[in-house]
Chain A
Amino acid sequence: MLLKRLVLGILTLVAISLLITLGVEALSGDVCTAMMGQMASAAKVAACHSQLNLNLPMHERYLTWLWNFMQGDLGNALTNHRSIASLIGNRIGNTFFLAGLAALVAVPLALTLGVIAALYRNSFFDRAISIVTLSGISVPDFFIAYILMAIFAVWLGVLPAISNLDQSMDLWDRIYISALPVLTLTVAVSAHMMRMTRAAIVSLLASPYIEMAKLKGIRPSRIIIKHALPNALSPIIQVVMLNLAWLVVGVVIVEVVFVYPGLGALMIDAVFLRDMPVVQATAMVFASVYVILNLLADILSMLSNPRLRHRN
């Protein structure tokens, strides 16, 4: 079961890499002339071709790419000829720092609020939270971002509007300067998690063992935490992981809004410059993280459920 899921995950990654390399080439026609324009000299285009291995047959090209990718050699960017590995290396840490910080705030917050909403279901608090989270899900991330920016950076003037992180900062400065992007991601990602946590718990409250617990006279808070929560764990884990996966991708727009030097901003720049090797490499990183987190979600929820754990 576990092994099957693992193999499937790896196959997915291979398929994605095929799509990213060969599919993109099929769609873009000649990347080199597309980027340099019709005016580029023949020699320049030829140099670009050989740099991208475009003179090799398709399967060799893919295998070379894969081989190099595995070894961490991602080639050079077409536009500024810097090594893509170092371009990404500088920024990947920033992106994970941002996403990690947001997860650290969002997950406990969402779970606590979800449990509280389930405990006091149909109360005023529950309804208010329900409206807020429904809006949180439907609203585009950049709306949340600009509202927070208008409030905290312009109106109150307590947080920086632009998160130009750099390597020399210490941890506190980093947290301070990325406070607004973290807050934006937290709002965006908590809504869904909270709703699902509440739904997962509430759906169990009609079960006979909860009825039994109620008849024994146990406090409602204890019923939810001791009896309902462990059984709702599997769907909750699924949702948390799903949102973490979303988080790593959702950073793209948030990074652009706050000019945060992360992987997402790098990818957007590369998309505009049509710097295909950089787009391919960043897309592969994003897709890998997404696939791995989804895989982890399946494995964890399997482990949290004894019935799934012992099934062959």
Chain B
Amino acid sequence: MGLLKLFWSLNWGARLGYVIVIFFAICALFAPWIAPYGQSQIVGDVWEPLFGEFVFGTDQIGRDMLSMLIYGARNMIGLALLTTGCAFGLGALLGFLAATMRGWVDQVLSRFVDMIISIPTLIFALIVLSATGTAIPWLITVIAITYAMPVFRIARAVAMDIEVMDYVEAARLRGEGLWWIMREEILPNAMTPLAAEFGLRFCFVFLLISGLSFLGLGLQPPLADWGAMVRGNADGIAWGYLHPLVPAACIALLTIGINLVVDTAVQKASGLRDDQ
């Protein structure tokens, strides 16, 4: 009941955001039970109409679009969560390290990050993927490294402020080790700003992954993914089929939903009012 009360206390934008996010989360979690068909099962003719026998029609080789969308939610959200998680783990660890150790460690890490950050993310991903091929572990590694860079900057800035606090000084004098200070003193106090950042970065990661899979460099069949669905159905547009717009709309809807949620979360956390 408490949760429901909290929900009604939000403005309509945030409510909409939560509804969208929860809807896609349910699709992702329970995909095999919700989806009427398998993600690579051919069930009908090519490009059966939308809202006919199949809710979202069938794709360019006759697979059920609805099932692909549901499985796609599972595959893409799973991949994006894992990647964003890795990016945050790496970025936060290095950022805290730079802030607590200072000196040359900070210098080396910061300059390295400056360099990687000055390469556009899509181009960086394309360079590395062209060298390594598009296996999923490489996909995760590349994107996690690219997005660990901005996380590093934020984590470092936040940790710098925490690191000068008296309780950290006290821990140092007690003789606690570097790892202990990072884990027990800095991490708990850096959690709030990092959590807000997580939602935002998740959107970027999600968009980059869909961009890459749209280009054919993301998840490979038989795994369904929304970006590849757009590309696969794209030829239909010329014949007046609107099928490619459906998965593209899903990508858009999910990222807008997350943005709405993050917006309110940030406003709540910082106590900012809308500008008058």
CA A12 – CA B255 in complex, angstroms?
32
- Report if B79 contacts A (CB, 8 A): no
- Report if A85 contacts B (CB, 8 A): no
Contact partners of B249 in chain A: CB under 8 A: 143
Contact A143 B240 (CB under 8 A): no
Cβ-closest 9 pairs across A and B: A28-B131, A143-B248, A138-B255, A271-B130, A139-B252, A27-B131, A249-B120, A24-B131, A138-B256
- Report if B58 contacts A (CB, 8 A): no
Contact partners of A202 in chain B: CB under 8 A: 275
Instruction: Please list 22 pairs of residues, one from A and one from B, whose beta carbons are closer than 8 Å in the complex, sorted by A's number.
Output: A12-B114, A12-B118, A16-B119, A27-B131, A27-B132, A28-B131, A142-B248, A146-B234, A147-B248, A149-B237, A150-B242, A154-B238, A161-B237, A253-B214, A257-B234, A270-B130, A271-B126, A271-B129, A271-B217, A280-B127, A286-B120, A287-B120
The contact string, 1 if C-beta is below 8 Å from chain B, for chain A 134-147, is 11011111110011
How many chain A residues touch B (CB < 8 A): the figure is 52
Contact A27 B248 (CB under 8 A): no
- Report if B128 contacts A (CB, 8 A): yes
CB within 8 Å for A135 and B256 given contacts A140-B251, A267-B126 = yes
The contact string, 1 if C-beta is below 8 Å from chain A, for chain B 205-227, is 00100110011110000000001
Contact partners of A245 in chain B: CB under 8 A: 120
Contact A146 B126 (CB under 8 A): no
Contact B216 A283 (CB under 8 A): no
CB within 8 Å for A283 and B259 given contacts A143-B245, A249-B120, A271-B217 = no
Task: Give me the interface of A with B, judged by CB distance under 8 Å.
Answer: 12, 15-16, 19-20, 24-25, 27-28, 31, 121-122, 134-135, 137-143, 146-147, 149-150, 153-154, 161, 202-203, 245-246, 249, 252-253, 256-257, 267-268, 270-272, 274, 276, 279-280, 283, 286-287, 290-291, 294
Q: Choose from B127, B132, B210, B244 the contact partner of A283 (Cβ within 8 Å).
A: B127
Contact partners of B240 in chain A: CB under 8 A: 154
CB within 8 Å for A253 and B215 given contacts A149-B237, A274-B130 = yes
CB within 8 Å for A16 and B115 given contacts A146-B248, A150-B237, A202-B275 = yes
Minimal Cβ-Cβ distance residue in B for A155: B240
Contact B215 A268 (CB under 8 A): yes
CA A150 – CA B127 in complex, angstroms?
32
Contact partners of B245 in chain A: CB under 8 A: 143, 146-147, 150
Contact partners of A27 in chain B: CB under 8 A: 128, 131-132
